[in-house]
Amino acid sequence: MTLSLTRRAALAGLGGALAMPAIRPSFAQGAPIKVGVLHSLSGTMAISETALRDTVLMMVEWANAQGGVLGRKLEAVVVDPASNWPLFAEKARELLAVSKVDVTFGCWTSVSRKSVLPVFEELNGLLFYPVQYEGEEQSKNVFYTGAAPNQQAIPATEYLMGKDGGEAKRIVLLGTDYVYPRTTNRILRAYLNSKGITDADIMEEYTPFGHSDWQGIVSRVKRFAGEGKRTAIVSTINGDANVPFYRELGNQGIKAEDIPCVAFSVGEEELAGIDTKPLVGHLAAWNYFMSMPGKPNDDFKAMWRAYIKNDKRVTNDPMEATYTGFRMWMQAVAKAGTTAVDPVRQAMYGQKVMAPCGYEEEMRPNHHLTKPVVIGEIQENGQFNVVYKTPNAIAAENWSPFIPENAARRG
Residues 50-77 pLDDT 10s? 999 999 999 999 999 999 999 999 999 9
Could you please report the per-residue DSSP string of 307-374? HH--TTPPP-HHHHHHHHHHHHHHHHHHHHTS--HHHHHHHHTT-EEE-TTSSEEEB-TTSBB-B--E
User: Does residue 199 form part of some domain?
Assistant: yes
Give the model's pLDDT for residue 4. 44
Flag whether 332 is in a domain.
yes
Bridge partner list, 37: 78, 105
Please report the pLDDT score of residue 319 as a whole number: 98
Is the same domain home to 277 and 392? yes
Q: Write the CATH number for 25.
A: 3.40.50.2300
364 vs 351: CA distance, rounded Å? 8
Q: What pLDDT score does 63 carry? A: 97
Q: Which amino acid is at 259?
A: I
Query: Which pLDDT score is estimated for 29?
Result: 67
pLDDT given for residue 20 in this prediction: 41
Whether residue 263 is found in the same domain as residue 343: no
DSSP 277: G
Kindly provide the b/e burial profile for residues 319-338, where b requires at least 16 CB atoms within 10 angstroms of the residue's own CB: bbbbbbbbbbbbbbbeebee
Kindly state whether residues 86 and 219 are assigned to the same domain: no
Tell me if 195 is assigned to some domain.
yes
Residue 73 β-bridge partners: none
Same domain for 247 and 323, yes or no, is no
Whether 192 maps to a domain, the answer reads: yes
Amino acid identity for residue 298 in this structure: D
Q: Residue 261: which domain range? A: 150-291+374-410
What whole-number distance in Å separates Cα of residue 352 and Cα of residue 325? 10
Same domain assignment for residues 16 and 138? yes
How many domains in the chain?
2
Q: How far is CA 351 from CA 5, 253, 357, 364, in A?
A: 30, 47, 17, 8
Task: Identify whether residues 214 and 269 lie together within a single domain.
Answer: yes
374-378 and 283-286 as β-strands: parallel, antiparallel, unpaired? antiparallel
The CA distance from 278 to 307, in Å, is 32
Q: What is the pTM of this model?
A: 0.90
| Residue 114 placed within a domain | yes
Low-confidence ranges of the chain (pLDDT < 50): 1-9, 13-23, 411
In a domain, 368, yes or no: no
**Which residues make Cβ contacts (< 8 Å) with residue 361, sequence separation at least 6?**
324, 352, 353, 355, 369, 370, 371, 393
Residues 222 and 355 in one domain: no
Q: Roughly what angle, to the nearest 10 degrees, separates helices 179-194 and 110-123?
A: 110
Is residue 318, in this structure, part of any structural domain at all?
yes
Say whether both 137 and 95 belong to one domain: yes
Q: Are residues 184 and 304 in the same domain?
A: no
Q: Determine the pLDDT at residue 279.
A: 87
